[in-house]
Each structure stands twice: as structure tokens, then as C-alpha cells.
Amino acid sequence: MDKHHLQKSLEKSKAELWMFYEIGNLMRTTLKLDEVLYIILTCVTSHEGLGFNRAMLFLVNERKRTLMGKMGIGPDTAEQADKVWRKIEAEKTTLKDLIKAYKTFAKRKGMRLDKLIKSIKVPLRESAGILALTVLEGMTFEITTDEVSKKVKDPICALLKTEHFVTVPLKAKDKTIGVILVDNMFTKEPITKDDIRILTMFANQAGLAIENSHLYEKTVSLSHSDSLTNLINHGRFQYLLSRELKNAAKFKKPLSLIMIDIDNFKKFNDSLGHPAGDKSLTSIAKILKKTCRSTDIIARYGGEEFVVVLPETTKESAWGLAERLRQGVEKIDFSEPKAQPHKKLTISLGLASFPEDAKDKETLISKADSALYQAKVAGKNRTHIYSAAIERRQ
């Protein structure tokens, strides 16, 4: 190699190292998964990054043995691509500027490509196509010529309307956790071996960033969870209720709160011991999760008490859910029902609603608690709705 070529090679290596250094710094600016994924794909598509037209990211769901589409970045049409690239050039937009645009991207809920990617689920089996094989084999797939492209019959690639593309595995600790798919759909520029080499190096860096984000989110989740029931804990409940009440007030929507207490739980614990008591708590938590909607907030309030926050729910609708919860618990077949009255473990529930019963968090909790107290006094294993008349009798 002559001096000129050596100098050129050194300059290229230096530029690559500087790019990876900059990208590494950007990926360390957050631990929130969606932001990390946005940074990764922006680096893959930016003119200051790897410069591909489109980039799509999928993550492995180990429990479901499925590859889930998480995010896609890139123009939807050639006209849009030309418009975006002209604007970037005219405004001299940097990679850091593009990263700062995350909030705008999130607010718009992505673009057409992003919505399409989020709808994709690929089973992790060999017959499921190239994305699945990228995970199962842990290797890069290069579909970069017309000859190879014609042989590929992949439904996901057809859906994405991509002919020449590359898939690279995202790895962390020798385990494949996802896949990045890239193409040059609009410029039609060939994807070279050098492009693939740099993309593979980048994917290793990205895989570690995603793994760190997973660990962070797991730690945050544990700090917000009750260790026995895996429900939200008391502190997190207080925060979420405040947030939901603000939203309810802002958008003039109803909100209901259900306080729940296990009947005669002390007797149950004293008769059968704490292990049996813990088992009953986890069983009831499962009933709550199974019966409530995905939008509802379920928490262990403390001891044998639970609480459910129901956004955008009137008192009448909340009462119907409360009764389903009560009946669901009543049907549980506990191993030692003789320790309880009527040979069953039951719950009492109190219900109050925003804005008719209370307009702030503390008052709403107090009103629901008052209704719960009346349910206990009235004989247990029942739901009581808060009313001012009931409170005056306490």
C-alpha cells in the first residue's frame, strides 16, 4: 500500500472512530427504551451517521417466542424523502439536532413506516423468514443483489416493499435480543460490504445500549412494585392517582376509585399462618389483574388492602366492575376455607368518584375509605358506594 492510500485509510478509520465515539455519547444520554431506540435508528439513518434511507428495529419477546416490531424511521415516499433531505441540507441540521427532535417524533406517534413496524409480530421459527433467522442464527443476512432478492419469498419484506436490504442481529452478552433492518429504498444506492461492516459494529454498540435500558426499566419497575403480589406499591399508586386526577380535571372526564379489604384476614392469618395469608394475597391480586381493564391501575395499598383506579369511569360502571371483583374472589377455592365464616374468603369494597364525591386525591381516598367502612359495618362481602348520608351516620 502506497503512502497516499495509507493516509486515506487512516483518515477513514479516524472518521469512523470519531463517529462511533459521538454515537456512543448520544446513546448514553438516556436509559428510557423508546428514546434509546429513537437514537439508534436516527444514527443509522442520519447523514452524519450511517446514512441509510430507512431503519427498522425489532426486539425479542422471550416469553412469547416472538420478534416484535418496535420502531421504524425513514420517509414514506420518494417525494417526502427528497423534501426532508433538502431541508436538512439547507438548515445544516446535525445529528444532535435530529436526536433532539424525539419529542416531536413521539408526539406525532411516528409516521406511516413506524406504525407499520409496530404492527409486525414474527414467530421465532425458521419458516418465519429472514428476520426470525437473523435471531435464531445470530448472523447478518445480506439481500443486496437482484439475483438474491428474486429468490427471497419473505412476507415481511414484501409488506415493507424492500428488495435490497440487510438485517443485523442486536446482541448483548452473547444473546441476540433483536434485529435492525436497513435499506436504501429511495436513493437505490448499493449497500456495500463496507456499509455492512460498519453497521455490524454499530449493532454491537446498540445491543448493549438496549440491554442497559432493559436493566434500568426492570430496576424502576421493581422499585414501583409490591414484592409479594407484583402489583403497584403504595407510593407509585399515590403518584399515578395524582396524575390521573389532573388528566380527569383537564379533559373533564370522570374517574372512580375502589378501596378493597379482605374480610376477617387477621383470623385467616392467625389460624393458618402467614404463608397461607401470603398465598391468599397473591390469589386475590391475580383476580384483580384478570378482571380489570388494561387502562385501570391496580395497587396493593398495604396489608390486606388493595385499591383500583378507574380512569374515564363513572360511578355506575365502576360499581359493575367492583361487583365482578367481589364475586371473582368469592369463587376462589382456598385450601382451608374452614378458617373463614361461610367457608369462603371474601372482600369488602368501597367506591367513590371524581368529580361528584371529591375533587382532590386525599378527599377521594377518604370518601372511598368511608364507603369501605360502611361495607364492613353492613356485614362484609359487599360493595358500598359513597354518599354524604352514609358518611353522616359514621
Tell me which of 304, 312, 316, 362 is the catalytic residue: 304
Q: By C-alpha distance, which of 135, 131, 136 is closest to 166? A: 131
Which cell numbers hold the place of 246? 389532573
Residue 73: strand pairing partners: 55
Contacting residues for 75 by C-beta, under 8 A, at least 6 apart: 53, 54, 81, 84, 111, 113, 186
Instruction: Outline where the chain has alpha helix (H).
Output: 3-27, 33-45, 78-91, 95-100, 102-107, 112-118, 130-137, 146-151, 155-159, 193-223, 234-251, 265-272, 274-291, 315-330, 361-377, 388-392
Q: How far is CA 81 from the centre of its chain?
A: 30
DSSP bridge partners of 123: 66
- All cell numbers assigned to 123: 414467530
Say whether 189 is catalytic: no
CA pair distance 332, 327, nearest whole angstrom: 9
Which residues are identified as catalytic? 304
